[in-house]
Structures are given as C-alpha cells and as structure tokens.
Amino acid sequence: MSVARAVRTVPMKEAAAHGACLLCTVLRHHQMQLVEAIGVKNASQLCNHHAWSLARSAPAELAADVYKRILNDRHRPEAQPKRECDFCAELRREEKVRLSELVQKMNAPSFVEWMRRSGTLCLWHADRLSHILSPDLRGVVAEILARTANELEADLRKCAEQAGRGQHAGSGVLGRVAEFLVCQRGIPGEETPC
Ligand SMILES: [Zn+2]
Ligand SMILES: [Zn+2]
C-alpha cells in the first residue's frame, strides 16, 4: 500500500462549510482521504465502521491490502487480541493536532471575532476545546454553542413546518443537528454510551 503520500490537510476556515463544526469538517475530510486514497500504514485492526467504509468506498487495491494483512495476522500466534482500530487511532491523532491548531489560532483577536460571528463547533469538540483553552476564551466557546443551538432550533422549526405542508424539507438541517449532538460519525466512543 502506498502510504507515504502526504495527506493534504484542510485549513480550518476553508473547511468550515456553513453551519458545520470546524473540527468535524477537517476530520471528515481526513477520514475520507484515509479510506478513499491512502489508507493507514500497517493497519491491523478495524472497527465496524471502518471495515465497511473500506469495503464500500476504498479503491479495491487499498482495501484488499488492509484486509489481507488483517486476515494474515489472525494466524500469527503472537497476534494480540483487540486493540483500537488503526483508522480511529489516526483520526484521534489528527484531532489532537487540529485542536492544538485551533487553540493557537485563537490567540489572534481577529480569528476569535470570526469564531464569535461565524464559527461552529459540535458539543464534543466544544468540550474538548474548552479543556485546553485559556479560561478567558472559554466564554467564546459557550457563545458559539448558544448561537449554533438557536440557529439549529429555528431551522428545525422551519423544516418541520415545511414537512407538515408536504414540501421537501431541507434535510441538511437534520444532518447538522446530528453532528452538533454527537460529533462526526465514524469514531466509536465519542457518543454518550446507550
Ligand atoms: Zn465537531
Ligand atoms: Zn475505526
């Protein structure tokens, strides 16, 4: 598997599609590149989500390479039973890097102002960011969450009214609410357990 190619990272502002969590957006992009282009070097463990993502959307050569290694490992007596999925581990690594990048960016007042006005964060990333942000900036995160929740509530009302009139409601809002509540899909353990 050719894993040496660099993963193009997406600048935060470029990635921030209107109304989407900045960090979920960059992670989703990273995940897409992992699954559809470059894989994870020597991956030996897959979670349910990433096993099926590879089967569904990876180039056959990439998916076959990952599956072959994992099938092979099954026969090695020293193979360890379950560790974390390698794709999930890579996403968590990237998440850490991007969180630090965001903290750095928030040293600039102009970026903080932009965040206040237009930035979006999901609950999960807001929480993680608050933990590593200086106390005086945590209020900005709370402001972003309050604004986003208000916007989502208004959009949900509109969506329900349209659906009630039999119109095709913009389903985009449902996806945005799901992201706001439970973060980007595909990394187990980030949701509140049932
Ligand atoms: Zn997020
Ligand atoms: Zn995984």
Residues 6 or more apart whose CB falls under 8 angstroms from that of 114 comprise 13
Question: Which ligand is the nearest neighbour of the Cα of 91?
Answer: 2
In the prediction, which pLDDT does 121 show?
94
In the prediction, which pLDDT does 168 show?
72
Residue 117 token pair? 């006005």
Question: Contact, 58 vs 76, CB < 8 A?
Answer: no
Fill in the DSSP letter of residue 36: I
- Ion ligand 1, residue ranges at CB < 5 A: 21, 23-24, 122, 125, 183
In the prediction, which pLDDT does 3 show?
42
In the prediction, which pLDDT does 184 show?
74
Residues 6 or more apart whose CB falls under 8 angstroms from that of 75 comprise none
Angle at alpha carbon of residue 85, lines to 84 and 86, rounded to 5°: 110
Fill in the DSSP letter of residue 8: P
Residue 53 alpha carbon to ligand 2 centre in Å = 9
Question: Which ligand is the nearest neighbour of the Cα of 186?
Answer: 2
**CA of residue 178 relative to chain centroid, distance:** 12
The amino acid at residue 53 is S
Question: Which ligand is the nearest neighbour of the Cα of 66?
Answer: 2
The overall pTM is greater than 0.85: no
pLDDT < 50 regions, the chain: 1-5, 191-193
Question: Contact, 8 vs 26, CB < 8 A?
Answer: no
Residue 62 token pair? 């990439």
Dihedral over Cα of 135, 138, 140, 146: its sign:
negative
- Ion ligand 2, residue ranges at CB < 5 A: 47, 50, 85, 87-88
C-alpha distance across the termini of the chain, in Å: 37
Question: Which ligand is the nearest neighbour of the Cα of 90?
Answer: 2
The amino acid at residue 19 is G
Question: Which ligand is the nearest neighbour of the Cα of 189?
Answer: 2
Question: Which ligand is the nearest neighbour of the Cα of 45?
Answer: 2
In the prediction, which pLDDT does 11 show?
67
In the prediction, which pLDDT does 96 show?
94
In the prediction, which pLDDT does 1 show?
40
Q: Give the domain ranges of the chain.
A: 12-182
Residue 80 alpha carbon to ligand 1 centre in Å = 32
